[in-house]
Structure 1
């Protein structure tokens, strides 16, 4: 048994299984809120950098809201998945300059950085539109190199974002239930939690692990 404050709980919609709801308390609400707080009108261009546990949900939420979605990842092995999740375009970050590739069709209104590394993010800044926003969700101990003149002259925003409240989690789950957003999960018994952690460290998660008793 466990006792928790009532205001720390979130009600799960009947349409979501416990396994589908589990990632919504972290990856789901984080990406949902990051999109919502950007206050973009439907039809805006949203680029999602990284197609992992966070990114695959960000692509789905952005597509269901009605945005034009560009998924950016290293290599082409996730291109098919990106299309299934709802991305309209896919950029292989190893095949060229992703910032320039984003800029060619007019740039992105929002770039969501979902990878836990800051190194490649500076290269994406040329891909922002006038008044565009780069929102950082992935975290590491690095630094971001920012061309200040570009930031000022284009009135652009760089911001961080961290999860949400239980009420936000309920909002994310209700939206997911109504619009068919589902995490892609791999289930392991609780006794194999160590294996799940090892595979996460090695980049072998596709896309979220759910541990079951």
Structure 2
């Protein structure tokens, strides 16, 4: 199908393409794409012209969007029918785009975690992923503790649904979470070993850390750290089978990303600002309406 792109999120995963990981070049980045179907191939059976759809990392036909096929930093892109999900009219293209990767990643992390309603969820990092994780956890019925450096994000974290705020500059994270009886699950969204390593001390019995942050740094844990719980650690990544559910849950409960908009001609500026961690939560390229 041919998609007329309306909006495309700017994600840290785009760095993989820009730094040389794509199958061939030139290659168009962008894997948080929302647009309208403009034309369909002769064998397409699932979709019709005029439908609003989204496409994430999973490009269909075993392709990865922006790695083995072109992505959404463009006015149009080609897509396979098995890589798409429907985007309801109740959410704007600009707000839907970041949910196709950042939002779905933390949504599925929570939904597939050990936690049950009423348990304590801690979200480490109140940034592009963390501000969505706080909303999802709160809307799903968890007690939520937000963790960040400094007090500047405390008010926003509470507005997003956090019940507690832990300033890691003023108190030790593990001790603060243990005063709350320990977290059943900690979602690590801050891409730094200094932010991730202390989290294990804040888990409750049989708790787990789910790493959603993109970082190549080794994490400093010993075998004894795991034996004390016992604790478990796992990673999470976007899953096309969870994508539609993440979008629909967001529409149902009012979860929305905080976004900063850029026109297509400023895509390079949007990317550089995102990589410098200066974006107001999620950068989105607004292409057409």
- In the alignment, which residue of structure 2 is the partner of 1:64? 139
SS at match of 1:53: coil
Q: Does 1:123 align with 2:198?
A: yes
- In the alignment, which residue of structure 2 is the partner of 1:178? 252
1:48 to 123, 134, 137: 123
What is the aligned length?
212
Which digits, 9 at most, give the CA deviation of each residue in 1:9-56, with x for residues without a partner? 010122111111100110010000000110421001000000111000
- In the alignment, which residue of structure 2 is the partner of 1:193? 267
Gaps of 5+ in 1: none
Which digits, 9 at most, give the CA deviation of each residue in 1:128-157, with x for residues without a partner? 000000010102111112232241241211
Moved over 2 A (4+): none
Report the Cα distance in structure 1 between the residues aligned to 2:223 and 2:175, rounded to whole angstroms: 18
Shift of residue 78, structure 1, vs aligned partner: 0.9
Shift of residue 190, structure 1, vs aligned partner: 1.1
Matches within 5 A, 1:124-139: 124-139=199-214
Report the Cα distance in structure 2 between the residues aligned to 1:81 and 1:96, rounded to whole angstroms: 19
Which structure dedicates a bigger proportion of its chain to helix? Answer: 1
- In the alignment, which residue of structure 2 is the partner of 1:202? 276
Report the Cα distance in structure 2 between the residues aligned to 1:159 and 1:59, rounded to whole angstroms: 19
Q: CA RMSD in A?
A: 1.2
Q: Is the 8 A contact 1:59 1:85 kept in 2?
A: yes
SS at match of 2:86: coil
Q: Is the 8 A contact 1:118 1:139 kept in 2?
A: no
SS at match of 1:10: strand
Q: Does 1:212 align with 2:212?
A: no
Q: Rg: which structure is higher?
A: 2
Matches within 5 A, 1:89-128: 89-128=164-203
Report the Cα distance in structure 2 between the residues aligned to 1:83 and 1:206, rounded to whole angstroms: 17
Report the Cα distance in structure 2 between the residues aligned to 1:105 and 1:173, rounded to whole angstroms: 31
Q: Does 1:15 align with 2:90?
A: yes
Gaps of 5+ in 2: 3-76
- Structure 2 length normalisation: TM-score? 0.71
Which digits, 9 at most, give the CA deviation of each residue in 1:173-212, with x for residues without a partner? 0000000100111111111122222222332111111111
User: Which one is further off, 87-96 or 145-154?
Assistant: 145-154
Report the Cα distance in structure 2 between the residues aligned to 1:204 and 1:83, rounded to whole angstroms: 21
Which digits, 9 at most, give the CA deviation of each residue in 1:51-110, with x for residues without a partner? 111000000000000000000011111111101111111111111211111112211000
Q: Does 1:32 align with 2:112?
A: no
Report the Cα distance in structure 1 between the residues aligned to 2:255 and 2:137, rounded to whole angstroms: 10
Report the Cα distance in structure 2 between the residues aligned to 1:119 and 1:25, rounded to whole angstroms: 28
Structure with greater contact order relative to length (CA < 8 Å, sep ≥ 6): 1
Q: Is the 8 A contact 1:119 1:143 kept in 2?
A: no
